[in-house]
Structure 1
Amino acid sequence: MFFKLFVLLAFLFTFAQADIIRPVYLEVTQKTTDTYALFLKVPAKDDKNTPMKVKAIEGCKENGAHVRESAKGVYSDRYTITCDKGIKGKTIEIEGLENTKRDLLLRMEFIDGSSQSALLNPLHNTYIVKEDAAPTQIMQTYSWLGITHILMGFDHLLFVFSLLIIVKNMRRLLWTITAFTLAHSITMACATLGIVHVPQQPVEAMIALSILFLAMEIVHEKQGKPGLTSRYPWIIAFTFGLLHGFGFAGALAEIGLPQQAIALALVFFNIGVEIGQLIFVATVVLVSLLFRHFTHPSFMEKLEMYLVYAIGGLSAFWVYERILAF
């Protein structure tokens, strides 16, 4: 067998309790020449004891009501600041980010229609607002968000991994991955641009069901009853890829898009997703070749089945959990 990975057993249980990583989000919107609305959103599951805030910006003062809310695992701050000489050239610092393992997406919208984006992290929790930002800033930010989303999106990776177990021919694998990529690119673009509206919770349940379906197809194949996926893997990859695209769109909706560069951000988020997917596939291929070389085929056969049953059990749990969340 081609894809038989002991190392992914540890990978499976490491991430079994993890959600898709949601970055902290800070939006700064210019309202008038010297007034800015700030919105800080922090997923609170892992950071309940490490609250964050925007450090006082030099030359700016808070005015009006400061609204703090906490709901559905997220806490947020909304307030307005006044900066006599504007905010460009000044430093925005996020206190508390250094005590987490999260990234923070900073998005700034100005009244002249321009915008700026940056991805901060615990080691670099400050940003100097630029006078003018190049489009490459959006490209870099949303590409990296796409990469991290797919690599931390455990359900999407399990679907791809299951395809890798089923498809044993490299040419068929290329067509299968291409079909999956094409499908989720279509629905992600349609949902993000508002062409199609699909409730997110049923989509997440169906994504889990797609993983369970592949796990069952692998078991049936092992029993000498190959199913549709074994014969036409690209059809299954394309069909379920449409669902996964809606999942990616939901994540992108949480992050937000710069209004003057929606298409650019969407394209580079998708490019980031594809880069992350290729990194994962290449890693699986490389490690599988190493294990095939150094281990006995019978051991790898048993290990593969353990992995398949673990994937099936986890995905069944996700289906149940996500249906209950409707």
Structure 2
Amino acid sequence: MLITAFAAGVATPVFAAPADNETVTAQGEPIQAGVFTSRWGRLFSGNKDKFSGALSFSSGLKEQWLTIPNGSESAQQKKKINQLLNLSLQYSPYSFWFANVTLRAPITDFDKYTTDFRYSFGYDDWHPNTFSLVYSNYGDNHLFPSGNSRFTYFEQGAFTFAYKFSLPKSLEKHLLINKGDALTCQVGVSWVPRYYSLADNDLRSNKQVGLGGCGYTFKQHFFIRATAFWYPHSDQQQPWNGDYSYSFGYAGYTPGSFSVQYSNYSGTRFPGRSSATAKFREGTISLIWFLPF
């Protein structure tokens, strides 16, 4: 996946009749922007092409302390805006089965990093009233690991099982603003076999997270999404694990089109809770170009 930082919602839309100039599927259903299974979301939801690709630029909104390698076994702290160039490729061999990988490289200090990547695979149907099962890994994955590091730490990825559903028609008709708009929601659970605990400064086992949220698509392309997370074992929630995530923007679908979005997902806290680390300026702006092939 190309952009991380969004999450899935909970609802199966009742589709209004699309206008003549709106993007629709072969069944006449308006395509929804941002229908996601994983906590971070899928870039290519609704894309039926066997091969898909996208190039994106992402940037934070404020400076932060980043770790910059200055040797094979050493690094230094540097305060700057985190900006990345991302190349995402997806293969969908059959139906809604998929595998996707994103290569990431920093805009500055490029020569000091080894290229890292993120990946996911599984079954993810973006239609309502469907189940999804996705594995995703956004951890310390490197194409050319150094020292004793591994290529990937598969056991530290997340398995997410989710269900998309629609709201009752009697309720949804009062929530949709225009014909062709869509409101889609989702509930699910994520399981991480091994995760890092800051309090213990060590790896722990069996992290569990519940999630639920909704996404609204306006005029087929503009969207807003929000997802809340629940940790059955509160000590498993780390400072960077948010209580909720949200994103909004404009999504294109066809090869050669562009998308732009703002997303915020790390360290968010509900009102009344302490240790919040993610204010609006700590979110990320992303510009995405769907490759024309």
Structure 1 length as normaliser, TM-score?
Answer: 0.23
Structure (1 or 2) with the larger CA radius of gyration = 1
Structure 2 length as normaliser, TM-score?
Answer: 0.25
Structure having the larger proportion of residues in helix: 1
Structure having the larger proportion of residues in strand: 2
